[in-house]
């Protein structure tokens, strides 16, 4: 049976863990709220770009035709920077490893410290690594896109597939693969240009498509970075909330056990004192 001193040491460690979990839970709550606000405002902007892409899908796809169609594909792996977020990173990196293994010769660009650590431990080769803040900026998407585009135009890759955690809700994020240069578009969006009047392009349609193509892709990519960041903070928040609740429950159990042992010791001392007193009087 553990002594009171041993239980007190355990209780001290549990309370320390409880404080850390509470601090991380608070920080994740603040970051999640901030990201949720940014993504909520950005949603309308992203939807507008998505609708434009859907209307002129073929034209925009022509802007990103690979210089060498026989070149290998490229996977852009977007992970979190920190641990303590449950299976958020492990599921994502397992998916990335499976896809890279299935397509031999493919290249990789990694985003996030956890992805870099994983690739180094597994001795997997990657072209370049990027590190973004917990709240990514639009400029981060621009830098990443320019890197991928340079590889595409240089004939080093023929396609770019994003691997990231799709944010479903606070409790669930699922790894998905998305072709950067051919993002999914709803049927109603892809056929929008057939049922409406063709807009007036100035100076001409080809020039407008060419000048807006990169912006369309950067907007789509920034939405992915925001979604991945929201998922990371949600996973951290839920993990730290669970850790804090577990630590609180265990702390109460230890306190109760310490109190019982202390009470038992006091009771034993009282009984012992009471049994010795008559002999002293005699």
Rounded to whole angstroms, the Cα distance separating 47 from 168 reads 18
Region 53-68 average pLDDT: 88
Q: How confident is the model at residue 139 (pLDDT cuts 50, 70, 90)?
A: very high
User: Do 234 and 32 form a contact (C-beta atoms < 8 A)?
Assistant: yes
Query: What pLDDT, in 10s, does the model give residues 29-60?
Result: 999 999 999 988 887 887 788 788 888 888 88
- Least confident residue range of 80-94, 101-115, 121-135, 199-213: 199-213
pTM of the full predicted structure? Answer: 0.84
Rounded to whole angstroms, the Cα distance separating 138 from 62 reads 24
User: Do 67 and 152 form a contact (C-beta atoms < 8 A)?
Assistant: yes
Torsion over CA of 28, 233, 221 and 212, rounded to 10 degrees?
-40
Quick one: which of 141, 188, 165 has its CA closest to 89?
A: 165
Asked if residue 275 is part of any domain, the answer here is no
CA 161 to chain centre: 17
Q: 197: helix, coil or strand? A: coil
Query: What pLDDT, in 10s, does the model give residues 251-282?
Result: 999 999 888 888 888 888 788 777 765 555 54
CA 126 to chain centre: 20
Which residues does residue 166 pair with via DSSP β-bridges, in sequence order? 174
What's the pLDDT score for residue 177? 94
User: Is the pLDDT assigned to residue 187 strictly greater than 50?
Assistant: no
What CATH code is carried by the domain that includes residue 66? 3.40.1380.10
Higher model confidence: residue 50 or residue 189? Answer: 50
- Ramachandran bin of 155, using left for φ above 0, alpha for ψ from -120 to 50, beta for the remaining angles: left
Region 106-135 average pLDDT: 94
Share the mean pLDDT of the chain.
87
Q: What is the distance between the terminal CA atoms of the chain, rounded to a whole angstrom?
A: 38
Q: Among the residues of 103-204, which ranges form H helices?
A: 113-121, 138-153, 187-190, 192-195
User: Do 136 and 222 form a contact (C-beta atoms < 8 A)?
Assistant: yes
Contacts (Cβ under 8 Å, ≥6 apart) of 100: 75, 106, 108, 124
- Helix/strand/coil percentages in the chain, nearest 5: 65, 10, 25
Domain of residue 70, residue span: 37-239
Higher model confidence: residue 165 or residue 279? Answer: 165
Q: How many domains does the chain have?
A: 1
User: Is the pLDDT assigned to residue 191 strictly greater than 50?
Assistant: no
Asked if residue 113 is part of any domain, the answer here is yes
What's the pLDDT score for residue 206? 87
Region 81-103 average pLDDT: 92
For the beta sheet containing 172-179, the strands, ordered from the edge strand earlier in sequence to the opposite edge, are 128-130, 107-111, 73-78, 159-169, 172-179
User: Do 85 and 235 form a contact (C-beta atoms < 8 A)?
Assistant: yes
């Amino acid at each position: 049976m553990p002594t009171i001193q041993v239980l007190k040491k355990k209780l001290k460690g549990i309370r320390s863990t409880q404080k850390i979990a509470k601090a991380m839970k608070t920080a994740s709550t603040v970051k999640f709220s901030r990201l949720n606000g940014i993504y909520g405002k950005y949603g309308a902007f992203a939807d507008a770009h998505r609708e434009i892409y859907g209307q002129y899908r073929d034209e925009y796809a022509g802007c990103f035709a690979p210089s060498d169609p026989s070149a290998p594909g490229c996977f852009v792996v977007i992970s979190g920077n920190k641990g303590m977020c449950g299976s958020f990173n492990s599921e994502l990196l397992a998916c990335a490893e499976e896809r890279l293994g299935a397509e031999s010769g493919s290249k990789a660009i990694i985003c996030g410290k956890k992805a870099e650590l994983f690739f180094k431990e597994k001795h997997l080769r990657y072209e370049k690594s990027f590190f973004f803040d917990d709240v990514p900026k639009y400029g981060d998407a621009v830098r990443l896109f320019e890197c991928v585009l340079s590889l595409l135009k240089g004939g080093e890759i023929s396609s770019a597939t994003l691997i990231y955690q799709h944010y479903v809700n606070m409790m669930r994020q699922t790894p998905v693969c998305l072709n950067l240069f051919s993002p999914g578009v709803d049927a109603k969006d892809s056929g929008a240009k057939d049922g409406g009047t063709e807009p007036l392009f100035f100076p001409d349609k080809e020039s407008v498509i060419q000048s807006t193509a990169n912006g369309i892709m950067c907007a789509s990519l920034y939405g992915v970075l925001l979604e991945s960041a929201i998922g990371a903070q949600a996973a951290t928040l839920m993990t730290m909330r669970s850790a804090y609740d577990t630590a609180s429950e265990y702390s109460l159990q230890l306190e109760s056990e310490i109190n019982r042992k202390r009470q038992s010791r006091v009771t034993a001392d009282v009984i012992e004192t009471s049994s010795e007193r008559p002999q002293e009087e005699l």
